[in-house]
Each structure stands twice: as structure tokens, then as C-alpha cells.
């Protein structure tokens, strides 16, 4: 698949639009060939098919993953792993080969802890808040080939976590992103439990107060299903922060189609500026910053395993 096919309007069809409160979702069916034998990180943890540990050098910005399964493991940019010496967020989407081992680039989302309370990492039911994902993606996308790595500014991640905790008046002794989500778990679930996943969809547009905050498209309906609730909960956190903004008009099907057309066109108009690099493990990545949006694609076996657009939050 070439760059031009990564965000191709002719391959995308909006299947439905749903609104609850100040959150609107528009689910997408994106035509692509499914790459078989891929499981999500959460599925791998639940089947005891993966271990993630601190590396021997015990660095904040790297952990070690061991894939014990005969499947590829997909890890989403923004996946949270809990435990070990401190909770981390994954810096970029990753596909790990069966029986593969890898050093995974991460950032800390628990500034106030560095101890041996937990032996290893486990999965989280949350992904990082959109502001964290946007800033990480923008920073990594901006790197040139000579300086390229998968590291994001640790201080910026900490600032984002602290700002969100402050906005929600959510106390956390260790300044933990996870504590913030767990404190408001009941509220966040009540804000999202009326949304239904569309069986034919493998992607989603998320609007908060009628502003597009993200677009996620996966290679398979199964991967999409595994991340559907996590994506919604993250959007609900943003909706909770922005709940005092009143919006009268709703995003309907036509408006959603127009927004999808515009963001895909923005990518196509800037296709000469798309950067390509080797992924952390399997495949290659496509990266682009344009205005207040960041575009990303993880390519493997001539197909996009994950496509992501993050918008700057006000």
C-alpha cells in the first residue's frame, strides 16, 4: 500500500452516527485486506501470552516485551501498562512478531513513584488522554531522519497528566494518569455505555462539543472491538473536562462525512511531506503533521494495521 492509500476517502464509508451528551461518534468501515493472526495487547495479557518487564538498566523510557504466543501482538500508541516501578504509556503503535522480544519506547505517566511495589507490568483498561497522545505524536513526527527516535518529551507528558488532574480536581499521591481515570470511572462509563459498536466497522471518528478530536482505523474488526471502549472512555475524559461548553447543533451523517472528507483531503494535499521510517518492530510507519492535526500509519504486509489522526485540543 502506498502513501496515497493510507487515508483514501473512496475506501471509507461511515456506517452510523451516535450522540450522547457532548460526545458524538461516527463509525467507519474502511475497505482493506485483513492481516491474520494479530491479537491486541490486552488479549495477550489475558491469555498469559506476553510479559512486559523493566529492562536491566531500569530506564524510564524503555521496557522489555516478550511475546510468548504464536500470534503477532498489536500495541496501540497510547496503551497504558500498569505496575513495575511506575506506570507507562506506549509511545507509538507496535506490531511484535510471534515469539519475538523487543525493547518498547514508553513515557512515564506516574511521576511520583519509582519502587518495587509490583514485579512486572499488566495491561490497563484505559488508554492515554488525547492531549498526551497528540503531543507525543507531534513530537515524534517532527523528528528528522538523522535524529529520529521514538522518544517524546517526558516533561510534556508529566505536564499533561498534572494539568488533567488539576482540571478535574482529582487527587493522586503519585500523580498517576490511572488514578485520574479510576476516580471518575463510574462517570466515564455512564457517559459512554449508550454507544453501540457497529458490527461492520473497523474505525471511528470522535467529536467532543462538535470538534473532531481523533480518528482511529484498524486493520480488523476484532482489533477495533478490543479498543472501542478504551477509545470512548478517553474521549469521555475530554468531554468531562469540556462539559461547561454548550453546543446546540449536532453532528449528523452529512457533517460527519464532510469532516472525514476534509481530513483525508488534508493528508492527500500534503502527501509529499509524509515521512516514512522503520517501525519499532514489524513494518514501517508513515507520519505527517499538518496544521493542528497529526497523521500516523503503521504498515505491515502491504496493509495498514493502524491509522491514527489526533487533533490538538483547546
Give the residue-averaged pLDDT of 232-238. Answer: 95
**Mean predicted confidence (pLDDT) in 63-89:** 97
Determine the pLDDT at residue 7: 96
What percentage of the chain has pLDDT greater than the value 70? 97
Integer CA distances (angstroms), 172 to 42, 84, 189, in order: 25, 18, 20
The residue written with cell numbers 505491515 in the block is 300
The answer for 180, left when phi > 0, alpha when psi is -120 to 50, beta otherwise, is alpha
Residue 58 corresponds to which cell in the numbers above? 531500569
Mean pLDDT within 210-219: 97
Higher model confidence: residue 57 or residue 111? 111
pLDDT at res. 1 = 54
**Predicted confidence (pLDDT) per residue in 254-304, tens digit:** 999 999 999 999 999 999 999 999 999 999 999 999 999 999 999 999 999
Rounded to 10 deg, the angle between the 221-241 and 185-192 helix axes is 120
Percent of the chain with pLDDT over 90: 87
Tens digits of residue pLDDT in 33-47: 999 999 999 999 999
- Output the pLDDT for position 101: 97
Q: What is the mean pLDDT of residues 186-202?
A: 96
What distance in Å separates the CA atoms of residue 41 and residue 73, rounded to the nearest whole number? 6
* Residue range 43-58: mean pLDDT, rounded: 94
Arithmetic mean of pLDDT, 297-312: 97
d(CA 89, CA 140) in angstroms, rounded, equals 14
Residue 302, sorted as left (phi over 0), alpha (psi -120 to 50) or beta, turns out to be left
Which residue, among 104, 167, 184, has the nearest Cα to 131 in the 3D structure? 167
Tens digit of each residue's pLDDT (9 = 90 or more) over 130-186? 999 999 999 999 998 888 999 999 999 999 999 988 888 788 899 999 999 999 999
pLDDT (0 to 100) of residue 2: 63
* DSSP characters over the chain: --GGGTT-GGGEEEEEEEEETTEEEEEEEE--PPPSSEEEHHHHHHTT-EEEEE-TT--TTEEEEEE-SSSEEEE-TTEEEEETTS-EEESS-EEEPTT-EEEEEEEESBTT--S-SSSSEEEEEEE--HHHHHHHHHHHHH--TTT--S---HHHHHHHHHHHHHHTT---TT-BHHHHHHHTHHHHHHHHTT----TT--EEEEEETTEEEEEEEESSHHHHHHHHHHHHHHHHHHHHHTTTS---S---HHHHHHHHHHHHHHHHHTGGG-EEEE-SSSSEEEEEEETTEEEEEEEETTEEEEEEEEE---
Determine contact, residues 310/291, Cβ cutoff 8 Å. Answer: no
Alpha-carbon distance of 63 to 95, in angstroms, equals 15
The answer for residues whose C-beta is within 8 angstroms of residue 182's C-beta and 6 or more apart is none
Residue 31: burial class (beta carbons within 10 Å; 0-12, 13-18, 19+): exposed
Query: What confidence tier does 314 reach under pLDDT thresholds 50, 70, 90?
Result: confident
Amino acid at each position: 500500500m502506498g502513501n496515497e492509500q493510507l487515508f483514501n476517502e473512496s475506501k471509507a464509508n461511515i456506517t452510523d452516527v451516535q450522540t450522547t451528551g457532548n460526545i458524538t461518534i461516527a463509525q467507519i468501515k474502511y475497505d482493506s485486506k485483513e492481516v491474520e493472526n494479530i491479537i491486541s495487547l490486552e488479549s495477550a495479557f489475558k491469555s498469559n501470552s506476553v510479559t512486559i518487564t523493566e529492562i536491566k538498566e531500569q530506564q524510564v523510557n524503555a521496557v522489555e516485551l516478550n511475546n510468548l504466543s504464536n500470534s503477532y501482538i498489536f500495541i496501540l500508541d497510547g496503551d497504558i501498562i500498569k505496575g513495575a516501578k511506575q506506570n507507562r504509556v506506549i509511545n507509538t503503535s507496535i506490531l511484535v512478531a510471534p515469539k519475538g522480544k523487543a525493547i518498547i519506547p514508553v513515557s512515564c505517566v506516574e511521576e511520583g513513584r519509582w519502587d518495587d511495589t509490583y514485579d512486572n507490568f499488566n495491561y490497563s483498561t484505559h488508554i492515554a488522554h488525547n492531549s498526551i497522545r497528540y503531543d507525543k505524536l507531534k513530537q515524534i513526527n517532527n523528528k528528522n531522519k538523522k535524529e529520529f527516535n521514538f522518544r517524546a518529551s517526558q516533561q510534556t507528558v508529566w505536564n499533561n497528566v498534572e494539568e488533567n488532574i488539576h482540571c478535574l480536581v482529582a487527587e493522586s499521591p503519585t500523580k498517576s494518569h490511572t488514578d485520574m481515570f479510576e476516580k471518575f470511572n463510574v462517570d466515564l462509563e455512564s457517559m459512554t455505555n449508550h454507544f453501540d459498536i457497529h458490527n461492520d466497522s473497523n474505525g471511528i471518528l470522535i467529536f467532543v462539543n462538535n470538534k473532531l478530536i481523533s480518528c482511529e482505523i484498524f486493520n480488523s474488526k476484532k482489533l477495533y472491538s478490543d479498543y472501542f471502549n478504551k477509545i470512548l472512555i478517553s474521549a469521555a475524559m475530554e468531554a468531562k473536562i469540556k462539559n461547561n461548553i454548550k453546543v446546540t447543533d449536532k453532528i449528523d451523517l452529512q457533517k460527519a462525512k464532510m469532516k472525514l472528507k476534509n481530513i483525508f483531503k488534508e493528508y492527500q494535499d500534503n502527501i509529499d511531506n509524509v515521512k516514512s521510517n522503520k517501525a519499532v518492530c514489524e513494518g514501517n510507519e508513515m507520519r505527517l503533521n499538518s496544521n493542528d492535526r497529526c497523521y500516523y500509519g503503521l504498515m505491515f504486509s502491504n496493509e495498514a494495521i493502524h491509522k491514527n489522526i489526533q487533533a490538538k485540543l483547546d
